[in-house]
Amino acid sequence: MPELPEVEALTAFLREHAVGHVVTRVDLAAVQAIKTFDPPLSALGGLELTGVARHGKFLDLDVSGLHLVVHLARAGWLHWRTGLPTAPPKPGKGPLAVRVHLDQSHGPPPASGGVGFDLTEQGTRKGLAVYVVRSPAEVPGIARLGPDALAVDRETFVALLAGRSGQLKGALTDQTLLAGIGNAYSDEILHAARLSPFKMADKLTDDEALRLHDAMRATLTEALERQVGQRAATMKGEKRSGLQVHARTGLPCPVCGDTVREVSFADTSLQYCPTCQTGGKPLADRRMSKLLR
Protein backbone atom coordinates (compact mmCIF):
# COMPACT_ATOMS: atom_id res chain seq x y z
CA MET A 1 0.00 0.00 0.00
CA PRO A 2 1.42 3.41 -0.92
CA GLU A 3 1.91 5.42 2.28
CA LEU A 4 3.17 8.89 3.16
CA PRO A 5 6.72 8.54 1.72
CA GLU A 6 5.54 7.06 -1.59
CA VAL A 7 2.68 9.54 -2.04
CA GLU A 8 4.98 12.45 -1.17
CA ALA A 9 7.54 11.16 -3.67
CA LEU A 10 4.83 10.83 -6.34
CA THR A 11 3.82 14.42 -5.52
CA ALA A 12 7.39 15.61 -6.10
CA PHE A 13 7.63 13.57 -9.32
CA LEU A 14 4.43 15.06 -10.74
CA ARG A 15 5.46 18.58 -9.78
CA GLU A 16 8.56 18.09 -11.90
CA HIS A 17 7.03 16.24 -14.83
CA ALA A 18 3.33 17.17 -15.04
CA VAL A 19 2.83 20.70 -13.69
CA GLY A 20 2.49 23.15 -16.56
CA HIS A 21 0.96 20.62 -18.92
CA VAL A 22 -2.63 20.92 -20.10
CA VAL A 23 -4.98 17.99 -19.55
CA THR A 24 -6.23 17.07 -23.01
CA ARG A 25 -8.44 14.11 -22.03
CA VAL A 26 -9.27 11.80 -19.13
CA ASP A 27 -10.34 8.21 -19.84
CA LEU A 28 -12.30 6.21 -17.25
CA ALA A 29 -11.69 2.47 -17.55
CA ALA A 30 -13.03 1.35 -14.15
CA VAL A 31 -16.38 2.96 -13.37
CA GLN A 32 -16.20 1.99 -9.69
CA ALA A 33 -13.07 4.12 -9.24
CA ILE A 34 -14.79 7.49 -9.73
CA LYS A 35 -16.59 8.65 -6.57
CA THR A 36 -17.98 12.01 -7.73
CA PHE A 37 -20.08 13.21 -10.65
CA ASP A 38 -20.13 17.02 -10.33
CA PRO A 39 -17.86 18.33 -11.77
CA PRO A 40 -17.47 15.45 -14.26
CA LEU A 41 -14.09 14.05 -15.28
CA SER A 42 -14.56 15.71 -18.65
CA ALA A 43 -14.41 19.14 -16.95
CA LEU A 44 -10.64 18.69 -16.57
CA GLY A 45 -10.11 18.70 -20.34
CA GLY A 46 -8.41 21.84 -21.62
CA LEU A 47 -7.28 22.98 -18.15
CA GLU A 48 -3.67 23.36 -17.04
CA LEU A 49 -2.26 21.22 -14.25
CA THR A 50 -1.04 23.97 -11.92
CA GLY A 51 0.01 22.19 -8.72
CA VAL A 52 0.29 18.92 -6.82
CA ALA A 53 -0.13 18.37 -3.07
CA ARG A 54 -0.47 15.53 -0.57
CA HIS A 55 -3.05 15.11 2.19
CA GLY A 56 -2.14 12.06 4.26
CA LYS A 57 -2.17 9.25 1.70
CA PHE A 58 -4.28 11.26 -0.80
CA LEU A 59 -2.68 12.70 -3.94
CA ASP A 60 -4.16 16.07 -4.96
CA LEU A 61 -3.67 17.43 -8.48
CA ASP A 62 -4.76 21.06 -8.84
CA VAL A 63 -6.08 21.49 -12.37
CA SER A 64 -6.67 25.24 -12.68
CA GLY A 65 -8.81 25.32 -9.54
CA LEU A 66 -10.48 21.94 -9.93
CA HIS A 67 -8.89 19.11 -7.97
CA LEU A 68 -8.29 15.57 -9.19
CA VAL A 69 -7.84 13.72 -5.90
CA VAL A 70 -6.61 10.12 -5.84
CA HIS A 71 -6.41 7.53 -3.08
CA LEU A 72 -4.34 4.59 -4.29
CA ALA A 73 -5.72 2.20 -1.63
CA ARG A 74 -3.95 -1.12 -1.14
CA ALA A 75 -2.89 -2.08 -4.66
CA GLY A 76 -3.11 1.11 -6.69
CA TRP A 77 -0.25 2.93 -8.40
CA LEU A 78 0.54 5.78 -10.77
CA HIS A 79 2.50 4.99 -13.94
CA TRP A 80 4.04 7.83 -15.95
CA ARG A 81 3.72 7.13 -19.69
CA THR A 82 5.45 8.68 -22.69
CA GLY A 83 3.65 6.58 -25.27
CA LEU A 84 -0.02 6.62 -24.33
CA PRO A 85 -2.30 5.09 -26.96
CA THR A 86 -4.72 7.57 -28.49
CA ALA A 87 -7.63 5.10 -28.61
CA PRO A 88 -9.81 5.08 -25.48
CA PRO A 89 -9.27 2.00 -23.28
CA LYS A 90 -11.92 -0.69 -23.07
CA PRO A 91 -13.72 -0.51 -19.69
CA GLY A 92 -13.13 -3.41 -17.33
CA LYS A 93 -10.09 -4.76 -19.16
CA GLY A 94 -7.02 -5.26 -16.96
CA PRO A 95 -5.81 -3.16 -14.03
CA LEU A 96 -6.27 0.27 -15.66
CA ALA A 97 -8.68 2.53 -13.76
CA VAL A 98 -8.06 6.04 -15.13
CA ARG A 99 -5.83 7.43 -17.90
CA VAL A 100 -4.88 11.11 -17.97
CA HIS A 101 -3.62 12.52 -21.28
CA LEU A 102 -1.44 15.64 -21.18
CA ASP A 103 -0.32 17.98 -23.94
CA GLN A 104 3.21 17.72 -25.32
CA SER A 105 4.27 21.34 -24.90
CA HIS A 106 7.27 20.38 -22.76
CA GLY A 107 10.27 18.81 -24.44
CA PRO A 108 10.41 16.64 -27.57
CA PRO A 109 7.33 14.58 -28.41
CA PRO A 110 7.47 10.82 -27.77
CA ALA A 111 8.20 8.53 -30.70
CA SER A 112 4.61 7.28 -30.67
CA GLY A 113 1.50 8.00 -28.66
CA GLY A 114 1.03 10.76 -26.10
CA VAL A 115 2.32 11.69 -22.66
CA GLY A 116 0.46 11.37 -19.36
CA PHE A 117 -0.14 8.82 -16.64
CA ASP A 118 -2.21 5.76 -15.81
CA LEU A 119 -3.83 4.99 -12.46
CA THR A 120 -3.94 1.22 -12.06
CA GLU A 121 -5.04 -1.27 -9.44
CA GLN A 122 -4.03 -4.91 -9.22
CA GLY A 123 -6.13 -7.73 -7.79
CA THR A 124 -9.86 -8.33 -7.48
CA ARG A 125 -10.46 -6.17 -4.39
CA LYS A 126 -10.96 -2.68 -5.77
CA GLY A 127 -10.39 0.27 -3.44
CA LEU A 128 -8.70 2.88 -5.63
CA ALA A 129 -10.76 6.08 -5.46
CA VAL A 130 -10.77 9.13 -7.73
CA TYR A 131 -12.58 12.39 -7.00
CA VAL A 132 -13.08 15.58 -9.02
CA VAL A 133 -13.91 18.36 -6.58
CA ARG A 134 -13.68 22.12 -6.25
CA SER A 135 -11.90 21.82 -2.90
CA PRO A 136 -9.97 18.87 -1.40
CA ALA A 137 -12.02 19.31 1.79
CA GLU A 138 -15.03 17.95 -0.15
CA VAL A 139 -13.40 14.50 -0.11
CA PRO A 140 -14.71 12.77 3.06
CA GLY A 141 -11.43 10.99 3.76
CA ILE A 142 -9.48 14.25 3.64
CA ALA A 143 -12.01 16.09 5.80
CA ARG A 144 -11.53 13.47 8.55
CA LEU A 145 -7.72 13.41 8.53
CA GLY A 146 -5.78 13.98 11.72
CA PRO A 147 -2.50 15.91 11.75
CA ASP A 148 0.14 14.81 9.26
CA ALA A 149 2.55 12.26 10.71
CA LEU A 150 5.57 14.26 9.53
CA ALA A 151 4.24 17.59 10.81
CA VAL A 152 2.90 16.71 14.26
CA ASP A 153 5.11 17.93 17.12
CA ARG A 154 6.12 15.81 20.10
CA GLU A 155 3.72 17.41 22.59
CA THR A 156 0.71 17.02 20.30
CA PHE A 157 1.71 13.45 19.49
CA VAL A 158 1.97 12.51 23.18
CA ALA A 159 -1.43 14.09 23.88
CA LEU A 160 -3.06 12.26 20.95
CA LEU A 161 -1.84 8.88 22.17
CA ALA A 162 -2.76 9.62 25.79
CA GLY A 163 -6.35 10.18 24.69
CA ARG A 164 -6.51 7.06 22.54
CA SER A 165 -7.74 3.71 23.88
CA GLY A 166 -6.58 0.72 21.87
CA GLN A 167 -3.39 -0.85 20.64
CA LEU A 168 -0.46 1.08 19.17
CA LYS A 169 -0.69 -0.63 15.78
CA GLY A 170 -4.27 0.56 15.36
CA ALA A 171 -3.48 4.05 16.65
CA LEU A 172 -0.65 4.62 14.18
CA THR A 173 -2.76 3.51 11.22
CA ASP A 174 -5.91 5.43 12.19
CA GLN A 175 -5.99 8.27 9.65
CA THR A 176 -8.31 10.33 11.83
CA LEU A 177 -5.64 10.33 14.55
CA LEU A 178 -2.51 10.62 12.39
CA ALA A 179 -2.44 11.01 8.62
CA GLY A 180 -0.13 9.10 6.32
CA ILE A 181 0.93 5.87 8.06
CA GLY A 182 -0.25 2.47 6.86
CA ASN A 183 0.47 -1.16 7.57
CA ALA A 184 4.10 -1.28 6.45
CA TYR A 185 5.52 1.83 8.09
CA SER A 186 3.61 1.26 11.33
CA ASP A 187 5.47 -2.08 11.64
CA GLU A 188 8.75 -0.31 10.90
CA ILE A 189 8.11 2.53 13.35
CA LEU A 190 7.18 0.19 16.20
CA HIS A 191 10.27 -1.91 15.54
CA ALA A 192 12.50 1.17 15.57
CA ALA A 193 10.86 2.34 18.81
CA ARG A 194 11.23 -1.14 20.39
CA LEU A 195 7.53 -1.27 21.27
CA SER A 196 4.97 -4.05 20.95
CA PRO A 197 2.22 -3.46 18.37
CA PHE A 198 -0.24 -4.72 21.02
CA LYS A 199 0.80 -2.25 23.73
CA MET A 200 -2.07 0.07 24.66
CA ALA A 201 -1.61 3.60 23.35
CA ASP A 202 -2.85 5.32 26.50
CA LYS A 203 -0.55 3.23 28.71
CA LEU A 204 2.71 4.53 27.26
CA THR A 205 5.15 6.22 29.57
CA ASP A 206 6.34 9.67 28.57
CA ASP A 207 9.70 8.17 27.56
CA GLU A 208 8.01 5.54 25.38
CA ALA A 209 5.75 8.10 23.71
CA LEU A 210 8.66 10.39 22.90
CA ARG A 211 10.69 7.42 21.66
CA LEU A 212 7.80 6.46 19.39
CA HIS A 213 7.53 10.00 18.01
CA ASP A 214 11.24 10.12 17.27
CA ALA A 215 11.09 6.69 15.61
CA MET A 216 8.11 7.80 13.50
CA ARG A 217 9.88 10.92 12.24
CA ALA A 218 13.15 9.09 11.59
CA THR A 219 11.49 6.16 9.78
CA LEU A 220 9.32 8.33 7.55
CA THR A 221 12.08 10.85 6.84
CA GLU A 222 14.58 8.14 5.88
CA ALA A 223 12.00 6.45 3.64
CA LEU A 224 11.15 9.77 2.02
CA GLU A 225 14.83 10.52 1.36
CA ARG A 226 15.14 7.15 -0.41
CA GLN A 227 12.01 7.76 -2.48
CA VAL A 228 12.24 11.38 -3.62
CA GLY A 229 14.04 11.59 -6.95
CA GLN A 230 13.11 8.05 -7.90
CA ARG A 231 11.13 7.42 -11.05
CA ALA A 232 7.56 6.37 -10.29
CA ALA A 233 8.37 2.90 -11.64
CA THR A 234 11.13 2.26 -9.08
CA MET A 235 9.50 3.53 -5.87
CA LYS A 236 7.89 0.25 -4.84
CA GLY A 237 11.20 -1.60 -5.05
CA GLU A 238 12.93 1.12 -3.09
CA LYS A 239 10.31 0.82 -0.35
CA ARG A 240 10.78 -2.93 -0.05
CA SER A 241 14.55 -2.63 0.09
CA GLY A 242 14.44 -0.43 3.18
CA LEU A 243 12.09 -2.54 5.32
CA GLN A 244 13.44 -4.10 8.53
CA VAL A 245 10.54 -6.31 9.66
CA HIS A 246 7.47 -5.70 7.50
CA ALA A 247 6.91 -8.49 4.95
CA ARG A 248 10.00 -10.28 6.33
CA THR A 249 8.30 -13.10 8.25
CA GLY A 250 10.75 -15.92 8.98
CA LEU A 251 13.84 -13.87 8.14
CA PRO A 252 16.39 -12.69 10.72
CA CYS A 253 15.86 -9.29 12.31
CA PRO A 254 18.60 -6.96 10.94
CA VAL A 255 19.10 -5.53 14.44
CA CYS A 256 19.32 -8.58 16.72
CA GLY A 257 19.15 -11.66 14.48
CA ASP A 258 15.97 -13.10 16.03
CA THR A 259 13.36 -14.48 13.63
CA VAL A 260 10.76 -11.96 12.49
CA ARG A 261 7.29 -13.17 13.46
CA GLU A 262 3.81 -12.47 12.11
CA VAL A 263 0.31 -11.94 13.47
CA SER A 264 -2.44 -12.55 10.93
CA PHE A 265 -5.87 -10.94 10.85
CA ALA A 266 -8.85 -11.41 8.53
CA ASP A 267 -7.43 -9.40 5.63
CA THR A 268 -4.01 -8.20 6.75
CA SER A 269 -1.04 -9.06 8.96
CA LEU A 270 1.69 -7.41 10.98
CA GLN A 271 5.33 -8.33 11.48
CA TYR A 272 7.56 -7.73 14.49
CA CYS A 273 10.71 -8.90 16.23
CA PRO A 274 10.14 -10.60 19.62
CA THR A 275 13.60 -9.74 20.99
CA CYS A 276 13.43 -6.08 19.98
CA GLN A 277 9.78 -5.44 20.78
CA THR A 278 8.11 -7.93 23.11
CA GLY A 279 10.78 -9.06 25.56
CA GLY A 280 11.40 -12.24 23.55
CA LYS A 281 7.81 -13.46 23.86
CA PRO A 282 5.88 -14.22 20.65
CA LEU A 283 2.50 -12.55 20.36
CA ALA A 284 -0.62 -14.71 20.23
CA ASP A 285 -1.73 -15.52 16.69
CA ARG A 286 -4.52 -18.01 16.15
CA ARG A 287 -3.41 -18.84 12.63
CA MET A 288 0.18 -19.34 13.67
CA SER A 289 -0.41 -20.83 17.13
CA LYS A 290 0.89 -24.29 16.23
CA LEU A 291 4.18 -22.78 15.04
CA LEU A 292 4.61 -20.57 18.09
CA ARG A 293 4.24 -23.22 20.78
Residue 232 has a pLDDT of 60
Q: Are 190 and 118 found together in one domain?
A: no
DSSP the chain: ---HHHHHHHHHHHHHHTTTPBEEEEEES-GGGB---SS-GGGGTT-BEEEEEEETTEEEEEETTEEEEEE-TTTEEEEEEEEE-SSPPPTTSTTEEEEEEE---SSSPPSSSEEEEEEEE-SS----EEEEESSGGGSHHHHT--SBTTT--HHHHHHHHHT--SBHHHHHH-TTTSBS--HHHHHHHHHHHT--TTSBGGG--HHHHHHHHHHHHHHHHHHHHHHTTS-GGGHHHHHHHT-SSTT-TTSBPTTT-PBPEEEE-SS-EEEE-HHHHSTTPPPP-TTTHHHH-
Q: Residue 154: pLDDT above 90?
A: yes
Confirm whether 284 is domain-assigned: no
Q: Give the CATH number, domain containing residue 170.
A: 1.10.8.50
Q: Give the CATH number, domain containing residue 9.
A: 3.20.190.10
Residue 105 has a pLDDT of 63
Q: Are 51 and 159 found together in one domain?
A: no
Q: Domain tally for the chain?
A: 2
Mean pLDDT of 101-111: 66
Confidence category of residue 111, pLDDT binned at 50, 70, 90: very low
Mean pLDDT, the chain, rounded, equals 91
Range of the domain at 192: 154-272
Give 37-82 pLDDT, tens digit per residue: 999 999 999 999 999 999 999 999 999 999 999 999 999 999 999 9
Confirm whether 278 is domain-assigned: no
Confirm whether 293 is domain-assigned: no
Whole-model pTM: value is 0.91
Residue 290 has a pLDDT of 41
Q: Are 14 and 114 found together in one domain?
A: yes
Residue 234 has a pLDDT of 63
Residue 293 has a pLDDT of 37
